[in-house]
Structure 1
């Protein structure tokens, strides 16, 4: 009996983790897309009923979202979607720029030729969208998500996955100043060149231009 219980325990635990992760991504995604707007109140009981789950995994997801700054929880009352401020945008931009540089540095020597072609296309998407803050933020997120999965470093990948929702929401409102757009497009071209030359140092520096860091 003991062996049977041990054999089934990982399955139950794994299911709970998948459920909690799914709720974290679902609720966080609604916040990023603006469906749950700043200042809006969230009640875990209402969400649990809507999604046909218990309140426990909903609360766990909200607690994770609070840790990355997307919500504020008021115990025994309600949860409120936080507000994006100029300070939070700056913090997100600086963090994202530095982490993106690390991602590019790690992935540069590991990219296969077909992956290099995909990365090039994603970088060009960033360059083509500099006049649209929302589209540019999405393009950067797609690029860094692709490169992050090719760093060969699970710790780095886990870090980015945990904060990606918070970065996506803040950077959506990061307006690229006209004088910086040209430098950003140049940075994209330099990043493509550096990746093709397998120059990790140059690729990292070029990547930071995408975030004005």
Structure 2
């Protein structure tokens, strides 16, 4: 593998965590990752430290680093804040977005639907993210974008996991059609509500999955 620069290494590790290639609670195996990425331990440890600041990795003295668990408490803390940011971004975007920006988002949405129909979760997820990124960009508020960036990593992992449910994935596609239609109509209040509800639906799905896993583990321990 081509040697990765520090930022690219952080990005790759982040993707592995978000998409479940590295599971919650899994130990970060420095030797294996260094061999896989073709890097020394120093840049890998820098990347691990960066992701620890984002809340994706937990570092324990003398015990090493592990992928942080995804807890109901953490999601309940982060998602309402992100929902408020998404809601505001939608309202501002409707007031400020240019026609070509709307057209570009429609193209991304159509590509996302195609990815859904193919069952391509990886492409779907990244197209989905690009749509939300474009809405924030259209809002034209750098403070809002920076606030979102600070929470993004913790929310992205849950967003990816939410669509592992076939029923939720199908519903998410339908919700995205409404989101794009509201943007095309420049209906700020409607888009604001749709974005908030869309994120709340994902939270409900992931929360239920985490609680089911906890109950299963407790049952196995009895």
In the superposition, the TM-score normalised over structure 1's length comes to 0.68
Distance in 1, Cα, partners of 2:177 & 2:29: 47
Cα deviation code 1:54-88 (max 9, x no counterpart): 54433332222122221110234410112223333
Pair 1:109-2:95 in alignment: yes
CA distance in 1, matches of 2:70, 2:103: 35
Q: State the distance in 1 between where 2:126 and 2:136 align.
A: 15
SS at match of 1:42: coil
Larger Rg: 1
Matches within 5 A, 1:176-187: 185=174
Gaps of 5+ in 2: 202-222
Match runs of 1:189-200 below 5 Å: 190-200=178-188
| Match in the other structure for 1:98 | 84
Please give the secondary structure, in 2, of the residue aligned with 1:173. Answer: helix
| Alignment partner of 2:9 out of 3, 11, 23 | 23
CA distance in 2, matches of 1:94, 1:177: 24
Q: Structure 1, unaligned stretches of length 5 or more?
A: 1-17
Matched position secondary structure for 1:36: coil
Residue 116 of structure 1: CA displacement?
0.6
Are 2:198 and 1:205 equivalent residues in the alignment? no
Task: Note the C-alpha offset of 1:127.
Answer: 8.0
Select the residue among 41, 61, 74 that pairs with 1:88.
74
Q: Is the 8 A contact 1:107 1:148 kept in 2?
A: yes
Counterpart in the other structure of 2:45: 59
Secondary structure of 1:145's match? Answer: helix
- The superposition leaves residues 105-137 of structure 1 with CA deviations (integer Å, 9 ceiling, x where unpaired) of 2322332222212323445677896xx9x6776
Question: How does 1:74-153 map onto structure 2 within 5 Å?
Answer: 74-122=60-108, 140-153=128-141
Between the two proteins, the alignment pairs up a number of residues equal to 194
| TM-score, length of structure 2 as denominator length | 0.66
State the match for 2:24 in structure 1.
38
* TM-aligned CA distance change 1:178 to 1:100, over 3 Å: same
117-126 or 167-176, larger mean C-alpha shift: 117-126
Deviation at 1:191, TM superposition (A): 3.4
Give the conservation status (yes or no) of the 8 Å contact 1:89–1:173: no
1:174 to 159, 162, 180: 162
